[in-house]
């Protein structure tokens, strides 16, 4: 089964936010510094047993760390972390083995990243860091990696 076949065989049924964590500076002057935001998306696949509604799940973690752009020491200015579970239901006939889902789960990064990135952007805005912009899409060719998968944007 190709990643695209898997993508068309499963439907996202639920995205459950598990936690949000934000660390921002107390010093308001630091919020005005030009900074770089390093964004990392991690996906960890698993099966769901005992629930007829869902067959597969992805544990999702989006981490956004900001560092000052024009300093020699890359001191962390802020950090935002979002954790969620994405639950998928099979919508085509036939059995999809867990190892197929595990091998090709990175195809769902394009589906999940915009949702989590927009939530992280809203959080940055609420924290007074509206000058930081998170991309709302992934690079065109995501790199294939072993589980857990990390997609990093700079």
pLDDT digits (tens, 9 = 90+) for 89-102: 999 888 899 999 99
Distance, CA of 71 to CA of 68 (rounded, Å): 6
Is the pLDDT confidence value at 154 over 50?
A: no
pLDDT in tens, 106-134: 999 989 999 999 999 999 888 888 878 88
State the CATH number of the domain containing residue 65: 3.10.420.10
Count of domains for the chain: 1
Mean pLDDT of 82-93: 93
- What is the CA angle 42-136-39, rounded to 5? 40
- What domain range is 129 assigned to? 3-153
Contacts of 152 (CB under 8 A, 6+ apart): 38, 39, 40, 41
Taking CA atoms, 117 is separated from 31, 108, 137, 140, 148, in Å, by 20, 14, 8, 16, 19
Whose tokens are 């020491």? That residue is: 73
Strand intervals (E) in 9-125:
10-23, 35-47, 56-68, 76-90
């Amino acid at each position: 089964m190709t990643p695209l076949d898997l993508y068309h065989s499963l439907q996202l049924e639920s995205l459950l936010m598990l936690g949000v964590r934000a660390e921002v500076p107390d010093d308001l002057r630091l919020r005005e510094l030009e900074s770089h935001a390093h964004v990392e998306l991690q996906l960890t696949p698993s099966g769901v047993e005992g629930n007829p509604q869902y067959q597969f799940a992805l544990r999702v973690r989006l981490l956004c760390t900001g560092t000052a752009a024009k300093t020699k020491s890359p001191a962390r200015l802020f950090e935002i972390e979002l954790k969620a579970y994405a639950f998928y239901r099979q919508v085509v006939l036939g059995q999809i083995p867990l190892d197929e889902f595990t091998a090709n789960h990175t195809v769902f990064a394009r589906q999940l990243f915009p949702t989590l990135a927009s939530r992280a952007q809203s959080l940055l805005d609420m924290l007074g860091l509206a000058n930081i912009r998170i991309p709302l899409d992934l690079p065109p060719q995501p790199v294939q990696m072993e589980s857990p998968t990390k997609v990093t944007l700079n």
